[in-house]
Amino acid sequence: MNYFKLEENVDRSELNIIILGFFNPVIITPFWLSTKNLIRETDAINAKIRIMHNEIVDYDLEWATIEITQKRFHIKCTQEPFFEITRDLVVGIFSLLKETPIDSFGFNHTKTVSLKTEDRYYEIGNRLSPFSNWSEGLDDPRLQRLEILDKESKQKSHGSILITIYSTAANELNQAVGININDHYPFSEKEGIKFSANLFIEYWDNSLNIANNVLSKLSNSLQL
Amino acid sequence: MTDTYFDTFPIETVETVPLNGKKEKAEFILNDAKNLICKDFVTEPFGDIVEEPFRAKKEANDFAKKLFNNFRMPSTYYTKTQKWLGHVVAINEEGFSAVLKDLSGGGTDEYGEFSFKEITEDDLDLISLGAAFYMSLGFISDKGTRKKEEEIRFQRLADYNEDEIINNGLDMTSGFINYFK
Amino acid sequence: MILGHYDSPPTLQEAEVTLMGAGAYGESIVCHVGNNNWIIVDSCVNPNDSKVPLPLDYLTSLGVSPLNISLIICTHWHTDHIRGLSKILEAAPNAEFCISRAHDQNKFLSFVGMDSSKLLNSSTKEFTKCLSILKERGKLFIDAIEDRKIHGKGEELGHIFCLSPSDYTKQIFDLEIADLIKAFYHPTKKIPYSSPNSKSIVLFAKLGPHRAIFGADLETVENEHEGWLRVMKNKITIDNKSSLIKISHHGSVTGYHEDIWNILLLDNAVAKITPWKLGGNYLPKQEMIEKYSGHTNQLFITEVVESHKQKARDRDLEKLIKSFKPNLQEIKYKLGIIRSRINMNDAEAKWQVQIIMGAKKIGL
């Protein structure tokens, strides 16, 4: 049966990797990354530093944005060719800082899906959250944003998946929706973990599968 | 609904927020889980000018959610990409050849020849037999301008100590030693 | 796997030696040694659908259960040589597992562990998975060494022996392992598969009155203590000339020696080759095909090497690749199967050869 496939109409993708733990932000500077051979020297030279502070660092490489506080490491990449390079950078950083205590990490895959027609754009909201439920009280219901939590997902060893679907109209991207898949891995105190590159890569691989599955299964269910 | 899931959601503590055509910078320093101190101010569409530090985690979370809601669109992004992971299989005077694994579509591998001239100077030292690199070809939108782009980058991971790696390796497989006939 | 009218299994007294070639995606020998006992040498996969390794798929198509796999032989640790082997082993709880390891077990295991722990560029993951499965089962691995019998008891019709590696080769292997560790310990490096290979396991099959040699990737080297020069001097295991050979190393010059044909093989022995191509390099070369054709008129090849073009993709991407990287070639997947069966109760019987899918007889 021919229906609209979300996964085949992804206009752009974004990756956010977030790690919660205890960090010393001021160590992980572009210069440090370059001396450890984790990025090119030219990447470090061309980095745009916004904040360099004991409690927070925030800078842009040409292909990623890094923001680190004492409790949170966040790297964002909006250029798909650099997703694996971003992942490798995280693996490289925490393989060197292997004593860093980690509480949780999350992979966020954000896909902007172009729905191509206005009808489909409005209809996706209706399929996700039927407007008939709202027609008694509201005259012109429109879905702006939806969040669904898969609390103990069977698609992974542990942790949850949070899917957020939202309209991108506010950003002048009409007839498109953003779908963020937050693949979250908490670690209990007992596990008290140090960064394990093996685990990280294993979770990364699975995370990509989860993100792809979410889109294709949602397409299947919505049948737009 | 619970907010514990929110921890690895991609909020940004430092954000440039487009407001009514102007850009106002909101700077935050996250001191602890409960306080969000706003250094500058933001106005519409978030309602009141925020000058007071937030006390409740929920408020902080809600505020940050609103920031993410605005979902600042990146100025540089790829609309269509083909990616490969290559491994160098031979090197000669002018360049190298490699077997490339299709990271986008999977399936069969590919073979390509590369000149050293195609490789960024910073990466030349990384070329060796077996070295891994990423190659991508795609259509990029860069601040509104669309163009075709090629990228070749050699893989970088932490420099390990050889002995450490060997010992880790032996830890992994030493249990097998009793199983040889 | 759709075998059409080739989907019936051999009889209990029929030996079968089936060579499967998947081009760059590996090769494998599936061998029936009688009484529904099966042996698998190495493995290969379809890169477009690697869920079921091809040898297992083949057996399933014949209606043979993996429970009847008695022995799996891994002639080389490199993943490119044994794609899917761990899945075969997983499905075959009764199988023994034979490998060739270096003399220095600790060094060998360090090497394997070091390479397997590379997250993204390992060449030994498949091999390590196999070791893990065996360890979980509490089974010992069989170490392949010259003249060791690795399958067959007493009155059984089929027996399998190793003709290599020699003791000398295993000692050299220790040195090679040390070099490999030094050159490739870094996690960004993948060990390229290097062939030909004097450490590969050459097998000698005694199938009733008939004999067969599986040449793996063995080469002819100057040193008479290893390679084919060593094998040709074997007086312990080799008791008769063979009527079938899987030619070593894709029919290359280094995989050849005239005396293999004079000393080890009967006239017009069935000879099978798996070709290889990468970029502008390919094996077997035409002059070698002519050489082999001079020795036998039963020369078979698993598939014909074609010139490779660009991989088919979305039209925009195809155009883009053509403009930036016009020399990029797909490493095509094509499967060819050369099956041979012979009655082990009949000394006068001849091999019945069937060519399936992409396989061809040379000189036809």
In this complex, is the C-beta atom of B100 within 8 Å of any C-beta atom belonging to chain A?
no
Cβ–Cβ < 8 Å for B134, B83:
yes
Does the beta-carbon distance from A81 to B151 stay under 8 Å?
yes
Nearest to C327 among B112, B150, B158 (CB): B112
**Testing the interface with A: which of C114, C118, C119, C128 to mutate, by most A Cβ within 10 A?**
C119
Work out the minimum CA distance from B41 to partner chain A, whole angstroms.
18
Q: Are A105 and A159 in contact (CB under 8 A)?
A: no
A61 — pLDDT class (breaks 50, 70, 90): very high
Cα distance from B102 to chain A (closest Cα, Å)? 13
Token readout for A83 is 């997703």
d(CA A106, nearest CA chain B) in Å: 5
pLDDT of res. B51: 39
C361 inside 8 A of chain B by CB: no
Chains touching A, CB cut-off 8 Å, 3+ pairs:
B, C
What pLDDT sits at residue C81? 86
CB contact under 8 A, A201 and C117: no
> Which pTM was predicted?
0.88
pLDDT at position B180 is 65
State whether residue A198 is helix, strand or coil: helix
Q: Please indicate whether, in this complex, the C-beta atoms of B82 and C317 are within 8 angstroms of each other.
A: yes
Q: What average pLDDT does range C103-125 have in this prediction? A: 85
The residue among C214, C298, C164, C275 whose CA lies nearest residue C18 is C214
Å from B104 to nearest chain C CA?
11
Say how many Å lie between the first and final Cα of chain C, rounded.
26
Question: Per the CB < 8 Å rule, is B5 touching A162?
Answer: yes
- Residues A24 and A73: their CA atoms lie apart, in Å, by 10
Residue A92: the pLDDT is 94
Asked if the model's pLDDT at residue A140 lies above 90, the reply is no
Instruction: Name the residue facing B80 among C141, C316, C331 (closest C-beta).
Output: C316
DSSP-derived secondary structure for B45-72: TS-S---SPB-SHHHHHHHHHHHHHT-P
Q: Which chain A residue has its CA at the smallest distance from C116's CA?
A: A198
How much is the average pLDDT of A201-214? 89
Q: Answer whether residue A175 is part of any domain.
A: yes
Q: Exposed, middle or buried: residue A201 (CB in 10 Å: 0-12, 13-18, 19+)?
A: middle
Nearest CB to C187: which of B110, B157, B166? B157
As a whole number of angstroms, the distance between CA C282 and CA A85 comes to 34
Show Cβ contacts of residue C250 under 8 Å, excluding neighbours closer than 6 positions: C273, C274, C275, C276, C283, C284
Residue indicated by tokens 């050159």 = C183
Nearest CA distance, C23 vs chain A (angstrom): 28
Assess B103–A contact: CB distance below 8 Å, yes or no.
yes
Nearest to C327 among B82, B113, B172 (CB): B113
pLDDT of residue B52: 41
Rounded to a whole number of angstroms, the distance from the CA of A156 to the nearest CA of chain B is 16
Measure CA of the first residue to CA of the last residue in chain B; give whole Å: 58
Q: Which residue of C has its CA nearest to B127?
A: C189
Q: Which residue has the higher pLDDT, C50 or A172?
A: C50
CB pairs < 8 Å spanning A and B? 145
- For the cut 90, the answer to whether the pLDDT of residue C281 exceeds it is no
Tokens 């050869």 -> residue:
C353
From the list C120, C131, C313, the residue facing B105 with the nearest CB is C313
* Distance in Å, alpha carbon of C278 to nearest chain B alpha carbon: 7
Please give the angle made by the CA atoms of A183, A189 and A194, to the nearest 5 degrees.
Answer: 70
Residue spans per domain, chain C: 4-361
Residue A33 lies in a domain: no
Report if residue A37 sits inside a domain.
Answer: no
Name the region of C267 (left: φ>0; alpha: ψ -120 to 50; beta: rest): beta
For C4-361, CATH gives: 3.60.15.10
pLDDT over 90 percentage in chain A: 42
Domain that holds residue A181: 6-13+106-218
- Long-range own/partner contacts, residues A43-49 (CB < 8 A, 24 or more apart): A43/B122
Q: Is the dihedral of CA C256, C259, C261, C265 positive or negative?
A: negative
Contact residues, chain B, for C96 at CB < 8 Å? none
Q: What pLDDT is attached to residue C293?
A: 95
Looking at the partner chain, which of B9, B14, B160 has a beta carbon nearest the beta carbon of A51?
Answer: B14
Cβ contacts of A39 on chain B, cutoff 8 Å: 156
| Residue B74: per-residue pLDDT | 60
Instruction: Name which of A84, A86, A88 to mutate to probe chain C: the one with the most chain C Cβ atoms within 10 A of its Cβ.
Output: A88
- Tell me which of C189, C332, C334 to substitute to probe the interface with B (most B C-beta atoms closer than 10 Å): C189
CB contact under 8 A, C48 and B109: no
Give yes or no for C202 touching B (CB within 8 A): no
Q: Among A16-30, A68-82, A136-150, where is mean pLDDT lowest?
A: A136-150
Residue C173 pLDDT: 85
Contact residues, chain B, for C101 at CB < 8 Å: 180
Q: Report, as ranges of residue numbers, the positions in chain B whose pLDDT lies below 50.
A: 1-5, 12-58, 67-72
Structural domains in chain A (count): 1
Q: Does C185 contact chain B (CB < 8 Å)?
A: yes
Q: Is A166 within the bounds of a domain?
A: yes
Tally A–C CB contacts below 8 A: 7
Examine residue A205 and state whether it is found in any structural domain, yes or no: yes
Whether A188 is covered by a domain: the verdict is yes
Residue given tokens 């050369």 in the structure block: C338
**Structural domains for chain B:** 4-69 (no CATH), 76-154 (2.40.50)
Amino acid at B153: R
Query: Chain C interface, mutation test: which of B108, B140, B177, most C Cβ atoms within 10 Å?
Result: B108
Nearest residue, CB atoms, A56 vs list B5, B29, B71: B29
Most confident residue range from C56-70, C71-85, C156-170: C56-70
Over 80: is that where the pLDDT of C332 sits? yes
Q: Would you say residue A99 lies in a domain?
A: no
Contacts of C33 (CB under 8 A, 6+ apart): C15, C39, C70, C151, C152, C156, C157, C158, C159, C160, C205, C207
Query: Is residue A158 included in any domain, yes or no?
Result: yes
Set of chain C residues whose Cβ sits within 8 Å of the Cβ of A8: none
What local confidence, expressed as pLDDT, does residue B63 receive? 52
Contact B5/A182, CB-based, under 8 Å?
A: yes
* pLDDT above 70: residue C241: yes
Residue A24 has pLDDT above 60, yes or no: yes
The verdict on a CB contact (< 8 Å) between A85 and B12 is no
Chain A contact for C120 (CB, 8 A cutoff)? yes
Please tell me the predicted confidence (pLDDT) of residue B49. Answer: 38
Q: Which chain C positions have a beta carbon within 8 Å of B113's beta carbon?
A: 279, 327
Span A219-223, mean pLDDT? 89
Instruction: List the single residue in C with minimal CA-CA distance to B107.
Output: C48
Residue C203 and residue C162 in contact, taking contact as beta carbons nearer than 8 Å: yes
User: Is the pLDDT reported for residue C262 higher than 70?
Assistant: yes
The residue among C117, C120, C186 with the most chain A CBs within 10 A of its CB, best to mutate, is: C120
Residue B6: the pLDDT is 53
Q: Which two tokens stand for residue B61?
A: 């979370």
pLDDT band of C250, cuts 50, 70, 90? very high
